[in-house]
């Protein structure tokens, strides 16, 4: 694995919870588990032909969105790429509506017209779901531009991948975001690969967050397998933005366990590499350990959460199967406002 | 309770696959997420992970079995405490037939308010056309070669790869650049093996930076090289549009003829399957609009090979629009390594007498299906496969229309400013007196591509629409 962040798994067995309540920790566990089980179910439905096209799973990266959502306030915005299911669940969107969009049914967030890569919820301040690598970066800065213009104190989380970080529009955006002090947190989800291209095959930059320095944007690298580290970094970033100091960059070091999309054979990395991450750095296991070894929850407590999550996911899948396909008239609606 | 493990769909286009290898045996305990088998899809060998945990009770499909249908049971997983004897040897349930939504939906009329193309309503005043001769079977598709020349069967994918490999062997200034073209062997496996043969100096992986690498490739073409630039799909070439149009297409003119841009921009174009609005656009009309560009849109493997070789040798910038759905289709291709297809030369895919169908690229599959159906009704359709959209072989189209007196165009792109609009205008100018009916355009619908399976089918050009348009122009 390239550039493992400094704060590795050491210390996960500590009994005291660092600046976090038991309830918070249980919530992070629950939220991360929901994403994982939801994604596993989506993979299963894809295998059965109920989901089609491209489907990019978030398994392995759960701590990134859950940690950052913990640093967000109501009204803050978020925008991301096609790898978006986790972001939607973490910001409180309904698993039924997300799953039904995956199956292309009327009960989905986009009435079945957007699919896995294109979902939106203005109510939850989730602005998509974008299929063109890097395009969401200026769009996110634009949302922040509107917030600054309106003076409403909101912050926008703009998520993008290590691969997207090479798109030129990212740097055009950095320049203007800093120039105009836009309240945007650029979150680079560095999962080490852009499809089959590892970070070191796509750039000689030593860090990705460091590129912001050329534009005057502060940033840092964060251990993305540690939800508490992500949350703490998110809080620093948000404080910077809300203080009117402009954008902030978080390069969150994470890992996707599955292929890039459902049809990626993932021959560019070894099975051992994936297994090692799963067994040694898994973000959910990490919180589980904190809860159990610290005596904050029993095996029984966690089993109850597991069951609750399983029910939510099964219910979402059932809804997504039962919800009808969109009526044919929907072909012609929503082209113009 | 035991759980059946079903053959998974592992790509957007997979219907069946080969169970290449089992990584577990009967009696093994598996964890959720553990890789249990290797499955060959239409594109690649994929690892298949267990969704549930449990003990492998029975393996129903032995490894090495080909043609295993998606959703058929391949193994049975037992819960804690169960043993294999509780599981019947035969799978208990048939694959769920309900898994695939949407049978063919009924056609839906486009409301006039949408601003799209409303098929021209025709009266029934004209005399019926003469009884049609049955359409001849698809003949020698490439009129460019003498009949009987040696051919070999290959897929469009193989044809494209062979064209690039042959041209790279022939000319050391030709190189391939793009995302995942090298070590990954191509996102759609078009460049498979080229890195091995030509090395990383000539098969060059780029970061995801379309605007930047398109500019670099155009600059390299000015510096004496002949780049082949692969866009993972043409949807992403919109990032690079400025360099394709402003830098590549216009420089020869702006420099008073001093420097041109010998470069090929290629990749899949148009809809694949269920990949939604941002990944499904057909750009044929966009590029065909630009003076200074040449534009190819092959249908068959012979088209693909012959045109790509011509494109690589051409001193001008060529936009080469492929199609993901066609990549896996097989055709006869001339075996002669010097086989090329000149630009601006359409082929008559099928001769006919009652109506001319003008199409190109994936549109040809619909045109051919419609012609088959029309033949059963006694209507003989002639199919013109344009192959290049700039230049366009107007003469072949006009000659055909002068013979059939009717024309329907077929394409996948949006209806406003479509290639078919332009063809109709040219026919009107050059063969007005030969027309017995207005030229009709069958196109994709005037909406972004929807994801839902039932809507996607409607959004694309359908065979039924072509048949109906032909009935209108032949007054049937
Ligand atoms: C402009 C553009 N180019 C190429 C693609 C094809 N593509 C989709 S995802 C992807 C890799 C992106 O990697 P990264 O930004 O690291 O995000 P990750 O998938 O790892 O979350 C590529 C090349 C695209 N969708 N858009
Ligand atoms: Mg990545």
Q: What pLDDT score does B44 carry?
A: 78
Q: Note whether residue A3 is domain-resident.
A: no
DSSP symbol at B408? E
pLDDT in tens, A183-201: 999 999 999 999 999 999 9
Residue A34 placed within a domain: yes
Please state the three-class secondary structure of chain A as a single string: CCCCCCCCCCCCCCCCCCCCCHHHHHHHHHHHHHHHHHHHHHHHHHHCCCCCCCCCCCCCCHHHHHHHHCCCCCCCEEEEECCCHHHHHHCCCCHHHHHHHHCCCCCCCCCCCCCCCCCCECCCCEEEEECCCCCHHHHHHHHHHHHHHHCCCCCEEEEEECCHHHCHHHHHHHHHHHHCCCCEEEEEEECCEECCEEHHHHCCCCCCHHHHHHHCCCEEEEECCCHHHHHHHHHHHHHHHHCCCCCEEEEEECCCCCCCCCCCCCCCCCHHHHHHHHHHHCHHHHHHHHHHHCCCCCHHHHHHHHHHHHHHHHHHHHHHHHCCCCCHHHHHCCCCC
The reply to whether residue B180 touches residue A196, judged by beta carbons under 8 angstroms, is yes
Q: Are B61 and B19 in contact (CB under 8 A)?
A: yes
**H/E element holding B121?**
none
Higher pLDDT, B112 or A329: A329
- Report the nearest-CA residue for atom 25 of ligand 1: A132
**Segments in B314-414 forming alpha helices (H):** 324-327, 363-376, 394-404
Tell me the Cα Rg of chain A: 19
Q: What does the pLDDT look like over A115-147, one tens digit per residue?
A: 999 999 999 999 999 999 999 999 999 999 999
Q: Is residue A330 part of a domain?
A: no
B106: nearest CA in chain A? Answer: A328
Tell whether A93 is covered by a domain.
Answer: yes
Q: How far is ligand 1, taken at its centre, from the CA of residue A165, in Å?
A: 10
Structural domain includes residue A333: no
Query: Which of A281-295, A318-332, B89-103 has the weakest average pLDDT?
Result: B89-103
Task: Give the pLDDT score at B43.
Answer: 73
The per-residue pLDDT for B101 is 42
Can you read off the two tokens belonging to residue A324? 């009808």
* B453 Cβ neighbours under 8 A, 6+ residues apart: A52, A104, A325, B101, B102, B274
pLDDT level of residue A6 (50, 70, 90 thresholds): very low
Q: What does the pLDDT read at residue B35?
A: 85
Beta-carbon-side half-sphere exposure of residue B330 (alpha carbons within 13 Å):
4
Total domains, chain A: 1
> Does residue A334 belong to any structural domain of this protein?
no
Q: Using CB atoms, which residue from B183, B187, B459 is nearest to A331?
A: B459
In B, minimum Cα distance to A40 occurs at: B51
Residue B12 is inside which H or E element, if any?
none
For residue B12, the model assigns a pLDDT of: 76
Contacts with B220 (C-beta within 8 Å, 6 or more apart), sequence order: B227
Q: Is residue A119 part of a domain?
A: yes
The residue among B151, B286, B95, A149 whose CA lies nearest residue B265 is B286
Of all atoms in ligand 1, which is nearest to the CA of residue A260?
19
Question: B183 an active-site residue?
Answer: no
Residue B85 pLDDT: 60
**Shortest distance, CA B451 to any CA of chain A (angstroms):** 5
Ligand 1 mean position to A129 CA, how many Å? 13
**What is the mean pLDDT, run by run of 10 residues, along chain B of 476 residues?**
86 84 92 85 81 88 92 87 57 41 43 38 37 39 68 97 98 98 97 98 98 98 98 98 98 97 98 96 98 98 98 98 97 94 96 98 98 98 98 98 98 98 98 98 98 97 97 96
- Asked whether the predicted pLDDT for residue A2 surpasses 60, the reply is no
Ligand 1 neighbours by CB, cut-off 6 Å: A 81, 83, 131-133, 161-164, 189, 191, 193-195, 260; B 179, 208, 210, 232, 236, 239
Rounded to the nearest angstrom, the distance between the alpha carbon of A36 and the centre of ligand 2 is: 18
Cβ contact A195–B100 (<8 Å): no
ipTM above 0.95, yes or no: no
Going by C-alpha positions, the residue among B395, B442, B437 that lies closest to residue B419 is: B442
Q: What are the tens digits of pLDDT across the range A45-67?
A: 999 999 999 999 999 999 999 99
Q: Is the pLDDT of residue A263 over 60?
A: yes
Please report, for the domain that includes residue A193, its CATH number: 3.40.50.970
A316 in any annotated domain: yes
Rounded to two decimals, the pTM is: 0.89
Q: Which domain holds residue A188?
A: 8-14+21-322
């Amino acid at each position: 694995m390239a550039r493992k962040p400094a704060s590795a798994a050491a210390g996960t067995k500590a009994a005291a919870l660092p600046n976090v309540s038991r309830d918070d920790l249980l919530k992070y566990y629950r939220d991360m588990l929901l994403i994982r089980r939801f994604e596993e179910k989506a993979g299963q439905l894809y295998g059965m032909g109920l989901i089609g096209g491209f489907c990019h799973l978030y398994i392995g990266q759960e701590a990134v969105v859950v940690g950052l959502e913990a640093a967000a306030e109501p009204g803050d915005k978020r925008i991301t790429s096609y790898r978006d299911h986790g972001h939607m669940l973490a910001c409180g969107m309904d698993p039924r509506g997300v799953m039904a969009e995956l199956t292309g049914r009327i009960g989905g967030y986009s009435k079945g017209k957007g699919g896995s890569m294109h979902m939106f919820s203005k109510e939850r301040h989730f602005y998509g779901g974008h299929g063109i690598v890097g395009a969401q970066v200026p769009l996110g800065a634009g949302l922040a531009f509107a917030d600054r213009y309106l003076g409403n104190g909101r912050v926008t989380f703009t998520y993008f991948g290590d691969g997207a970080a090479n798109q030129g529009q990212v740097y055009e955006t950095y320049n203007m975001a800093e120039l105009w002090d836009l309240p945007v947190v650029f979150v680079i989800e560095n999962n080490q690969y852009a499809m089959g291209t590892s970070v070191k095959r796509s750039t000689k930059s030593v860090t990705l967050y460091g590129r912001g320095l050329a534009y005057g944007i502060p940033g840092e690298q964060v251990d993305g397998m540690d939800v508490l580290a992500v949350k703490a970094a998110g809080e620093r970033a948000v404080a910077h933005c809300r203080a009117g100091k402009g954008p902030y960059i978080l390069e969150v070091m994470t890992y996707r366990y599955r292929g890039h999309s459902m049809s990626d054979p993932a021959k560019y990395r070894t099975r051992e590499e994936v297994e090692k991450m799963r067994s040694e750095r898994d973000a959910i296991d990490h919180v589980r350990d904190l809860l159990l070894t610290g005596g904050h929850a029993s095996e029984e407590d966690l089993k109850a959460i597991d069951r609750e999550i399983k029910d939510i996911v099964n219910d979402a899948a059932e809804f997504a199967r039962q919800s009808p396909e969109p009526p044919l008239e929907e072909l012609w609606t929503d082209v113009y406002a | 309770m035991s759980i059946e493990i079903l053959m998974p769909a592992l790509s957007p286009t997979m219907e069946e696959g080969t169970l290449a290898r089992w990584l577990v045996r009967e009696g093994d305990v598996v964890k959720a997420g553990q890789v249990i088998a290797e499955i060959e899809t239409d594109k690649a060998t994929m690892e298949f992970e267990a969704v549930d945990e449990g003990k492998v009770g029975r393996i129903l499909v032995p490894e090495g079995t080909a043609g295993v249908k998606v959703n058929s049971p391949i193994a049975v997983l037992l819960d804690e405490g169960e043993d294999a004897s509780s599981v019947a040897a035969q799978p208990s349930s048939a694959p769920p037939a309900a898994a695939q939504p949407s049978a063919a939906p009924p056609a839906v009329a486009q409301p006039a308010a949408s601003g799209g193309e409303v098929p021209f309503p025709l009266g029934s005043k004209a005399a019926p056309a003469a009884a049609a001769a049955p359409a001849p079977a698809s003949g020698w598709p490439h009129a460019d070669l003498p009949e009987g020349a040696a051919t070999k069967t290959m897929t469009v994918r193989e044809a494209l790869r062979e064209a690039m490999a042959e041209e790279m062997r022939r000319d050391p200034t030709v190189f391939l650049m793009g995302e995942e073209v090298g070590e990954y062997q191509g996102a759609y496996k078009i460049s498979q093996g080229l890195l091995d043969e030509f090395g990383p100096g000539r098969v060059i992986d780029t970061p995801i930076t379309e605007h930047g690498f398109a500019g670099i490739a155009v600059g390299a073409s000015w510096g004496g090289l002949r780049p082949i630039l692969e866009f993972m799909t043409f949807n992403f070439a919109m990032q690079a549009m400025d360099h394709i149009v402003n830098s590549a297409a216009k420089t020869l003119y702006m420099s008073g003829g001093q420097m041109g841009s010998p470069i090929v921009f290629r990749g899949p174009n148009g809809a694949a399957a269920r990949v939604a609005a941002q990944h499904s656009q057909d750009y044929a009309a966009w590029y065909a609009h630009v003076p200074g560009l040449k534009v190819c849109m092959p249908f068959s493997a012979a088209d693909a090979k012959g045109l790509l070789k011509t494109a690589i040798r051409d001193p001008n910038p060529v936009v080469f629009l492929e199609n993901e759905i066609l990549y896996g289709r097989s055709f006869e291709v001339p075996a002669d390594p010097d086989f090329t297809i000149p630009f601006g030369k359409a082929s008559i895919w099928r001769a006919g007498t009652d109506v001319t169908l003008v199409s190109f690229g994936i549109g040809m599959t619909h045109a051919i299906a419609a012609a088959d159906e029309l033949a059963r009704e006694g209507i003989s359709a002639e199919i013109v496969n344009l192959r290049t959209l700039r230049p366009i072989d107007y003469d072949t189209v006009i000659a055909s229309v002068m013979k059939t007196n009717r024309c329907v165009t077929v394409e996948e792109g949006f209806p406003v400013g479509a290639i078919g609009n332009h063809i109709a205008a040219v026919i009107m100018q050059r063969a007005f007196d030969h027309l017995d009916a207005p030229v009709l355009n069958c196109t994709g619908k005037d909406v972004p591509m929807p994801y839902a399976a039932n809507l996607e089918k409607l959004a694309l050009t359908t065979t039924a629409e072509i048949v109906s348009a032909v009935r209108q122009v032949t007054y049937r």
